[in-house]
Amino acid sequence: MVDSGRGTVLAAFGAPLVYGIVHGDRSWLVGALGATVFVLLVFAQQIRSAHMRDSIKKLQRLNDGKILLSASDDGLTFESSTGSMLMRWNDLKEVRLNRDYWLLLRAPNDFSTLPLANIAEGLQADLLSRFRAAGVRVRSS
């Protein structure tokens, strides 16, 4: 998953790299561009993995390890032994769908991770329809 800002940076380095390789350029510049693109991709993946690990650790720190998720006309409610939170539908800007979890984005650097392991497919479909009805952008990763 690469957002538009990072995608622009990746394209700025990746396009000259591809051009150089296609045209047979084997100079140090092409090597440097290749190394830069590789480092950017690894860095982006490490950030993504770190956020996922942090979210899983937070879930594991719960007293009983359970969160009750409910959907209403107002939004999503998360309840646990440590408290509750209502995430209103209109607060969400985007939902990024992954196979094992969804990222619920409220702002570029403000998001929640929703693991899908124990969420029934029917509830997942209901949530997706509510996201779309509220005008939330839904993207697959």
Taking every pair of C-alpha atoms in the chain, what is the biggest distance, in angstroms? 61
Half-sphere CA count of 135, side-chain side, radius 13 A: 3
Distances (CA, A) of 62 to 39, 43, 80, 94: 35, 29, 8, 27
pLDDT greater at residue 27 or residue 7: 27
- pTM, whole model, 2 decimals? 0.57
Asked if 131 contacts 117 with a C-beta cutoff of 8 angstroms, the reply is: no
pLDDT tens sequence across 90-132: 899 999 999 999 999 998 778 888 889 888 899 899 999 999 9
Tens of pLDDT along 52-94? Answer: 888 888 777 776 767 788 888 889 898 887 788 899 998 999 9
**SS3 at position 67:** coil
Sheet holding 101-107, edge to edge: 110-115, 101-107, 94-97, 137-140
Other Cβ atoms within 10 Å of 64 Cβ, number: 8
